[in-house]
Structure 1
Amino acid sequence: MKEFLYLGFGGVVAQCEWVFWEAVGLLVGSLGVVSLSVHTIPNQTIMTFCMIPFSFGIALAIRMGISLPISVKRTKILVIFVLFFSMVVFGLVSIGVYIYRRSIVALFTSNQEVQELAELIFVKVALFNFNIAIFAILAGIATGLGKQWLLGIINFIFLWIFGLPIIYYKSIVCDGGLNAVWYWMNIPYLGMNITLCILFSYLDWYKIQKQIINNENNNNNNEEEVEEE
Structure 2
Amino acid sequence: MLLTMSMEEKRKVVLKGNLFKGLLILSIPIIINNLLQTMYNVVDTYWVSQISNTDNEVAAVGGVWPINFFIIAFGIGLQIAGTSLMSQNIGAGRNDRANYIASQLYVFALIVGVIMAILGYTFSPLIIKFMGFEGEIYELGLSYLRIIFFETPILFSFLIFMSMRQSQGDTLTPVLFSASSVIINIILDPIFILQFNMGVQGVALATVLSKVIVMPFALLVLFKAKKSVHIVPKYMKLKFKTIKRITSVALPASVGTAFSSLGFIFLNGAIIGLYGKETMAAFTVGNRFISLIMMPAMGFGNALAFYVGQNIGANQTERAKASFRTSITLTLSFMFVGMLILLPYNTRSFAVNIFLKEKRTIELAMTYMLFIALNVPLMGLFANFNGVFQGSGKTWFVLIMNATRLWIFRLPVIYLLYHITDLGPTGVWYAMVLSNVIICIIGTFLYKFGHWERKIIKNDHEDEEMDREMALAK
Using the TM superposition, name which of 68-77 and 129-138 deviates more. 129-138
- Distance in 2 (alpha carbons) for counterparts of 1:194 and 1:112: 37
Letter in 2 for 1:158: R
- Please list every run of at least 4 consecutive aligned residues from structure 1 whose deviation after the TM superposition is greater than 6 angstroms: none
More helix by share: 1
Q: Do structure 1's residue 56 and structure 2's residue 300 form an aligned pair?
A: yes
- RMSD of aligned alpha carbons: 2.6
CA deviation string 1:23-73 (max 9, x = no partner)? 222211121233223222212222444354333322211121111122111
Instruction: Determine the structure 2 residue equivalent to 1:147.
Output: 394
Instruction: Determine the structure 1 residue equivalent to 2:385.
Output: 138
SS at match of 2:320: helix
Instruction: Determine the structure 2 residue equivalent to 1:12.
Output: 254
- Runs (5+) with no aligned partner, structure 2: 1-241
SS at match of 1:177: coil
Change (3 A) 1:152 1:205: closer
Larger RCO (CA under 8 A, 6+ residues apart): 1
- Distance in 2 (alpha carbons) for counterparts of 1:52 and 1:20: 25
- Distance in 2 (alpha carbons) for counterparts of 1:225 and 1:19: 37
Task: Tell me which structure has the larger Cα radius of gyration.
Answer: 2
Contact in 2 for aligned 1:72/1:205 (Cα 8 Å):
no
Letter in 2 for 1:7: V
Instruction: Determine the structure 2 residue equivalent to 1:76.
Output: 321
- Distance in 2 (alpha carbons) for counterparts of 1:109 and 1:227: 60
Contact in 1 for aligned 2:293/2:335 (Cα 8 Å):
no
Change (3 A) 1:32 1:226: closer
Letter in 2 for 1:19: L
Q: Do structure 1's residue 21 and structure 2's residue 268 form an aligned pair?
A: no
Instruction: Determine the structure 2 residue equivalent to 1:42.
Output: 286
- Distance in 2 (alpha carbons) for counterparts of 1:76 and 1:117: 41
TM-score w.r.t. length of structure 1:
0.85
Percent identical among aligned pairs is: 23
Change (3 A) 1:221 1:35: closer
- Distance in 2 (alpha carbons) for counterparts of 1:158 and 1:104: 28
The Cα of 1:218 is off from its aligned counterpart by: 4.7
Count of equivalent residues: 226
Contact in 1 for aligned 2:381/2:440 (Cα 8 Å):
yes
Q: How does 1:122-201 map to 2 (within 5 A)?
A: 122-171=369-418, 174-201=421-448
Q: Do structure 1's residue 32 and structure 2's residue 268 form an aligned pair?
A: no
The Cα of 1:191 is off from its aligned counterpart by: 1.1
Contact in 2 for aligned 1:163/1:184 (Cα 8 Å):
yes
Contact in 1 for aligned 2:414/2:428 (Cα 8 Å):
yes
- Distance in 2 (alpha carbons) for counterparts of 1:205 and 1:48: 30
- Distance in 2 (alpha carbons) for counterparts of 1:123 and 1:80: 28
